Structure 1
Amino acid sequence: MTMEQLTIAAAEGRCPAWIYTPESGEGPWPGVILLMDGPGIRPAVHDMAGRLAKEGFVVLLPDLFYRSGAYDPIDPKVVFTNKDLREAHREKYMAKVTPAAFKSDFPAFYAALQARADVRKGPIGVTGYCMGGRLAMIAAGSFPDVVSAVASFHGGGLANDTPSSPHRNAPMIRASVFVAGAIEDANFDDAQKARLEQALSDAGVEHRVETWPAKHGWVPTDMPVHDPVQSERHWTELPAFFHAKLG
């Protein structure tokens, strides 16, 4: 696996991003965009992008917080276990990553992948975690011509009552969908799971919607609720899903 940093001309400025590529085999490889969780870019998320690249994908990791300016990586065990720090982080960083803002950036992310000779031309995969899991589903419904496989892990608000809820765009989705929520997650409870499954079924979308025995945020290794067993399950099932759907 190799990594290089680049800057993407996004909708509202210069977005730092990183490209991870397989270090063995011959390309071009399928392209995947990895959408970070709420704590932001940090070593644990870079490790995830690198590990996915080793499975045979070119992985783009954009910094979705670019609108807030440069920042030092946070420690989720500190920030997300302190109410005041957590709310300050949400207000300064997460609140600016609205669905509309993300959708305005996505074409630039896709173009950055497609411009590379080592990326297979055409539709790509998108995977996201927490905040990024919701955005991944939004990408599938908003850009059906370029997203052919989407995975969401411990994403919240996938089928709620907000106007931007991803389930509302199910009729637009052409991608295969893989959702793994957390059993202990108030932002993706049984009612949302059922609503999402119904919307995808009614739209004829190929999908898996599951809840795994873990807490919200279980995949990244630096999260207070990291679950090694379910995280490794994710590392088995995610690459298999993308290989099956992206070729």
Structure 2
Amino acid sequence: MTTVRGTSMDIPTQDSTADAYLAHPDDGSPHPGVLFYMDAFGIRPHLKKMADRLAEAGYTVLVPNVFYRHGRAPVVELPDFIDPARRPEIFERIGPVIQSLTPGPAMCDADAYLTWLTDCPLTTDGPVGITGYCMGAGLALRTAGTYPERVAAMAGFHGGRLATDAADSPHLLADRITAELYFGHADQDPSLPSEQIKRLDEALDSAGVRHRSEVYTGAHHGFTQADTAAYDSTADERYWKALMALLDRTL
């Protein structure tokens, strides 16, 4: 079994400094880079375990705190098990933070994260893979469209608002994407109704983007997050297989 080293990092950005978690095989060798976009709850033990699992498979994984403008992680204090139905104040606090991360600053940050990964001696040369969860899926899609020459693969899971009517919806970047994409959608997810899934697929098809879009039956928004009430072990196992296959194929 591969030994993994996980460390806290600081990533210089245009505005300030983003704290981050870095996981990589502890062998001193460079490995393909993966930019891991967090869900709304942010960097916490479960997300670090997910990054460690990717590192164990042979990747150098960077998990930035995309909410760093509001403080170092955890930006919002969280219980060990997150059930928003019982703790509605969690989303009341996180909601304004999410809304404050607009596309302009987010993509300036993405440039910093990709640059750091490229320059890191623990990362091999060439484009990276991206995986994103919840709001992170939208950031991943937007990054793939904003920096196409730097991204070889992108996977998004239980993403929300990926193909809205807004003028800055991430799906509108489809014609710039060169990476191979995979989406694992939750069919019990009000943040991504069927019409948005259709709009996303049509945009990617029209642009000739290599992609696969799957709807996980019975899964809820957040199904990959084992420390939340939305976790679905069957969907989680399916997600890991799909993600590993994509990264192994492209990186």
Give the TM-score range, shorter chain: over 0.9
Identity %: 35
Which AA in structure 2 matches 1:146?
Answer: R
CA distance in 2, matches of 1:3, 1:42: 13
Which AA in structure 2 matches 1:49?
Answer: A
Could you say if the C-alpha distance between residues 13 and 228 of structure 1 is closer, same or farther in structure 2, counting changes exceeding 3 Å?
Answer: same
CA distance in 2, matches of 1:79, 1:67: 24
Structure 1 partner of 2:240: 235
Q: What secondary structure, in the 3-state scheme, does the structure 2 residue paired with 1:41 have?
A: coil
Query: Structure 2: where are the runs of 5+ without partners?
Result: none
User: 8 Å contact 1:175–1:205 — kept in the other structure?
Assistant: yes
User: 8 Å contact 1:160–1:192 — kept in the other structure?
Assistant: yes
Structure 2 partner of 1:77: 82
CA RMSD of aligned residues (A): 1.5
> Could you tell me how far 1:69 is from its partner in structure 2?
1.2
Could you say if the C-alpha distance between residues 202 and 217 of structure 1 is closer, same or farther in structure 2, counting changes exceeding 3 Å?
Answer: same
User: 8 Å contact 2:42–2:73 — kept in the other structure?
Assistant: no
Which AA in structure 1 matches 2:149?
Answer: D
Query: Structure 1: where are the runs of 5+ without partners?
Result: none
Structure 2 partner of 1:168: 172
Structure 2 partner of 1:245: 250
Of 72-81 and 93-102, more deviation after overlay is shown by: 72-81
1:133 aligns with 2:137: yes
Could you say if the C-alpha distance between residues 242 and 71 of structure 1 is closer, same or farther in structure 2, counting changes exceeding 3 Å?
Answer: closer
1:197-208, aligned counterparts within 5 Å?
197-208=201-212
Q: How many residue pairs align between the two structures? A: 244
TM-score (norm: length of structure 1): 0.94
Q: What secondary structure, in the 3-state scheme, does the structure 2 residue paired with 1:148 have?
A: strand
TM-score (norm: length of structure 2): 0.92
CA distance in 1, matches of 2:111, 2:163: 24
Could you say if the C-alpha distance between residues 115 and 159 of structure 1 is closer, same or farther in structure 2, counting changes exceeding 3 Å?
Answer: same
1:13 aligns with 2:33: no
Q: What secondary structure, in the 3-state scheme, does the structure 2 residue paired with 1:107 have?
A: helix
Which AA in structure 2 matches 1:167?
Answer: H
User: 8 Å contact 1:23–1:54 — kept in the other structure?
Assistant: no
1:27 aligns with 2:29: yes
